[in-house]
Amino acid sequence: MHTHISSDAIETTAVPAWLAEVMARPPVNPAPRLRRTAPLATDLDMGALLRFKSLMAQERQPVQVARMCFDREYAYERIATAHASAHDPLRRLALELFQAYHVRDLLAAAVAAGN
């Protein structure tokens, strides 16, 4: 039997301090010439994102894969929610995705600093 979790309970889930620190950083503004190209979605593992969506659906948490590719704040929020889960495979995948997004942010910052 499944129990219903209220939206209030979901919204009050504490974000781990390490993730709150990353989320608090302002997004990197790419150089003007880079704005014309697609965001760095190619460095994300689509298989991992689809597994993430499936595991989150089992927890009754929706995930928009396309938005995970282009909306930094949304992606980190979904990752934080997954990390707070009691489901170990989902928590491990959340850490993997966090690392991928963190590397992506570092690369974007390096590219922006080089211009």
User: Is residue 112 one of the residues assigned to a domain?
Assistant: yes
CB of 25 closer than 8 Å to CB of 104: no
User: Which amino acid is residue 100, in one-letter code?
Assistant: A
User: Is residue 94 one of the residues assigned to a domain?
Assistant: yes
- Looking at residue 14, its pLDDT comes to 64
Q: What is the domain range of residue 71?
A: 40-115
- Looking at residue 54, its pLDDT comes to 96
CB atoms inside a 10 Å sphere around CB 52? 24
CB of 79 closer than 8 Å to CB of 101: yes
User: Is residue 45 one of the residues assigned to a domain?
Assistant: yes
User: Is residue 53 one of the residues assigned to a domain?
Assistant: yes
User: Is residue 83 one of the residues assigned to a domain?
Assistant: yes
What pTM was computed for the model? 0.63
How many distinct structural domains can be found in the chain? 1
User: Is residue 10 one of the residues assigned to a domain?
Assistant: no
Query: In sequence order, what DSSP letters do the residues of 9-58 get, joined into one string?
Result: HHHTPPPPHHHHHHHHSPPP---HHHHTSPPS-TTS-HHHHHHHHHHHHH
Q: What is the pLDDT of residues 9-38, one digit of tens each?
A: 444 456 677 666 766 766 655 544 444 333
User: Is residue 17 one of the residues assigned to a domain?
Assistant: no
